[in-house]
Structure 1
């Protein structure tokens, strides 16, 4: 964008010389607030006069604005101005009109004698548009037509402006504008307008607003402008500025660069005044009245999320409902802005890493920008949620959970659901001991580290002493003892039981149906059942690092049936592998 504006300006500068431009009305600036700030307004431009200073500023206006101002110059010259800002769904349109008149210029004849007076006047109409490019970037354009009535001739012409504003930080505004690109025609001869490039910045720091810029005009030298505004109370603003141009302060004196003014703010009505000395020429005064009309259904809210203890921004997830149903994330500054809101209720659900979530409800007025500051409390606690099951039946059981770490305590387990919840535990390392509903259950222990804001879920499968568990689902190909992939879920559960009960010793028992087998590898069902038990033992040792002396493999052939061998279904049940506790 900067290169574009520079290119447009350089194209104009090819034919310009100092003093070679027309329509001096364009150099005077517009609006008492900008004038009081030393005409340093390109990076601020936050009212309807942005149409003149930087049309990108129009896009910053969410409401309708209309302003009237009167400028009283020396020698009786007076200007009357009107600016209008009309926001829409695609951007903000700006309208402006200026009339400048000198009621009495004395006419002198060739003998240097005064004669009658004559009147001159200038007029200008402008139309602009500003739009938002993303969240913090604004682009604007303006076109204007001009008419100048002199004593012996008239001129007319047209011009254009282009501007850009960026707000990389909440308190900082950067602006650039190329103003008055165009020509005027006098008696068929084209003349340049006073084209200029302005580059500036503004900053907001509580009740203070500062602005500064550099302006490079086509027909003059570089000049610097700066201003500051102090608003001690909402109803009053005090302004002071200084500029080195466009007036020649070397001729008019150093004090001619000073500007000052006041602003009175009454809800949607603003009254502004500025004064600027002009050396021996006198003093100029500007008086303006601005009113703002609320644009219903165009409310906005700026949400800021921060840590309640450090005040640092938090990148959080916002779940919005009510007026809008969306889920969004805040930026690196912990902020998110939502616009185009009608009146109503907005529910904000906020969650961030390492912080406790919260829910807020906000009443949106729908006619202004509102702000929501959400402080998230850092989480220094965690929780454990778990369930207890009988390892054989897979049914939930009751019991008792004893925990010891930064704090210690115990909690009974609901026998109906087998569930328990340990809430608001300080973070750290804990040892849990899980006791079953009866002494025949073997207690389990585990150690775990709790992290802030995390819920740790655990399931415990409790074994009974001397209990036998059939590893349902394990079967082998006829006459084979190799473990197949489909065994994995069952063996994983067996492995977890051994890991969770590190003191138990178990027997892995292999069983067959009564149909005899005779192969070179397995002469009988005794060797086959033993080989199958050994295969399960090797898997558990290799996969779960179970100590070999905790696993005893035994084959029982068909000597311990659990179902009738008269049917295929019964024989299928008898071909099994069992997991039986021998000792604790």
Structure 2
């Protein structure tokens, strides 16, 4: 149980602002965007756009399948599977995420061990995006489910997004996790509503720069993420980023740094990112993708 509480606190910067539930919705789903500080609202151009900005799905011209495995904090595991299908109407997307915190030790009022329980959170996503000249619009509907031992809660949520190309510059906007909240037993906690505004600049075909400003009104937080991506070779890219949310959680500005690399061979790609979280440990992500 202590491990679960520590994990929940790590997903929110300060206990005093831990007002929302379903904190797993804040965890990034892609190795590439998280290597860039999560600054992906405007840059989103692969199937992980389902998580950051559904409007980004419209940039896909082929079917795409993507999976990500994350070795998350305190021994927990976070996984993502996404699929996108372009059509004449627009691009449809399907996504699934799951946070598994493993087995937890249960204790009674006298702090005596009385067995164990498991805890997990899941989200199932259906998304759609359509390009309208230089503007793309997108939306998701999500079914959310959380389980702690024998108790469970579920709800639906919506995401909305838009982006606009202005030459080499793209402006993105997303509103994520719009819904009633999740109710465990008698208490309903609001979802972590996230309002994001982002910009991305593509310099030729080798360098991408991205900046996001994210506001969470339910948790009274505003954070900034920025990142860069440089294609050293057509098949090899280096990435680095910084996220203020990570640094605040760990009380050290250096802990907001992250980095990684990507490999691409024809229609296949692999990405890796490493993000330090101070005393809580390190987060490592591996993403694999294919377009066809």
The verdict on a shared fold, with TM-score over 0.5 as the criterion, is: yes
**Aligned 8 A contact 2:159 2:174 in 1:** yes
Aligned to 2:10: none
User: 3-state DSSP class of the match of 2:221?
Assistant: coil
Cα separation, 2, equivalents of 1:65 and 1:233: 23
Aligned to 2:159: 161
| 2:230 equivalent to 1:233 | no
Aligned to 1:68: 67
Cα separation, 2, equivalents of 1:265 and 1:83: 18
**Aligned 8 A contact 1:38 1:227 in 2:** yes
Q: 1:176 aligns with which of 173, 176, 179?
A: 173
Aligned to 2:131: 132
- What per-residue deviation string (whole Å, max 9, x for no partner) do you get for residues 356-412 of structure 1? xxxxxxxxxxxxxxxxxxxxxxxxxxxxxxxxxxxxxxxxxxxxxxxxxxxxxxxxx
| 2:174 equivalent to 1:147 | no
Shift of 1:220: 3.3
Q: 2:191 aligns with which of 190, 193, 197?
A: 193
Q: Quick one: higher RCO (CA 8 Å, sep 6+), 1 or 2? A: 2
Aligned residues: 274
Shift of 1:72: 0.7
Specify every segment of 5 or more residues in structure 2 that has no aligned partner in the other structure, as ranges: 1-15
Shift of 1:110: 2.5
- The alignment's TM-score, normalised by the length of structure 2, stands at 0.90
Aligned to 1:476: none
Q: 1:222 to 1:205 in 2, by over 3 A?
A: same
**Aligned 8 A contact 1:204 1:210 in 2:** yes
Aligned to 1:285: 284
Cα separation, 1, equivalents of 2:68 and 2:19: 29
Shift of 1:156: 0.4
Shift of 1:79: 1.3
**Aligned 8 A contact 2:80 2:97 in 1:** yes
Q: 1:273 to 1:110 in 2, by over 3 A?
A: same
Aligned to 1:91: 90
Shift of 1:259: 1.1
Cα separation, 2, equivalents of 1:250 and 1:86: 37
Cα separation, 1, equivalents of 2:188 and 2:208: 41
Matches for 1:358-369 after TM superposition, within 5 Å: none
Cα separation, 1, equivalents of 2:249 and 2:285: 24
Cα separation, 2, equivalents of 1:43 and 1:86: 20
Aligned to 2:43: 44
| 2:211 equivalent to 1:212 | yes
Cα separation, 2, equivalents of 1:73 and 1:59: 30
**Aligned 8 A contact 1:83 1:94 in 2:** yes
Cα separation, 2, equivalents of 1:27 and 1:92: 24
**Aligned 8 A contact 2:70 2:284 in 1:** yes
User: 3-state DSSP class of the match of 1:45?
Assistant: coil
Question: Whose strand fraction is larger, Structure 1's or Structure 2's?
Answer: 2
**Aligned 8 A contact 2:29 2:79 in 1:** no
User: 3-state DSSP class of the match of 1:43?
Assistant: coil
User: 3-state DSSP class of the match of 1:47?
Assistant: coil
Matches for 1:294-305 after TM superposition, within 5 Å: none
- What per-residue deviation string (whole Å, max 9, x for no partner) do you get for residues 279-314 of structure 1? 100000111100000xxxxxxxxxxxxxxxxxxxxx
Q: 1:187 to 1:107 in 2, by over 3 A?
A: closer
- The alignment's TM-score, normalised by the length of structure 1, stands at 0.46
User: 3-state DSSP class of the match of 1:59?
Assistant: helix
Aligned to 1:32: 31
Shift of 1:19: 1.7
Cα separation, 1, equivalents of 2:265 and 2:105: 43
User: 3-state DSSP class of the match of 1:256?
Assistant: helix
User: 3-state DSSP class of the match of 1:110?
Assistant: coil
Shift of 1:112: 2.7
Matches for 1:533-548 after TM superposition, within 5 Å: none
- What per-residue deviation string (whole Å, max 9, x for no partner) do you get for residues 151-193 of structure 1? 3521101110111100011x11100001111122322543210
Shift of 1:111: 2.6
Cα separation, 1, equivalents of 2:272 and 2:131: 30
Asked which structure has the greater CA Rg, the reply is 1
Shift of 1:250: 6.0
User: 3-state DSSP class of the match of 1:42?
Assistant: coil
Q: 1:91 to 1:236 in 2, by over 3 A?
A: same
- What per-residue deviation string (whole Å, max 9, x for no partner) do you get for residues 25-73 of structure 1? 1011111111111000001110001111001101111111000110111
Specify every segment of 5 or more residues in structure 1 that has no aligned partner in the other structure, as ranges: 1-16, 294-584
Aligned to 2:6: none
**Aligned 8 A contact 1:252 1:278 in 2:** no
Aligned to 1:260: 259
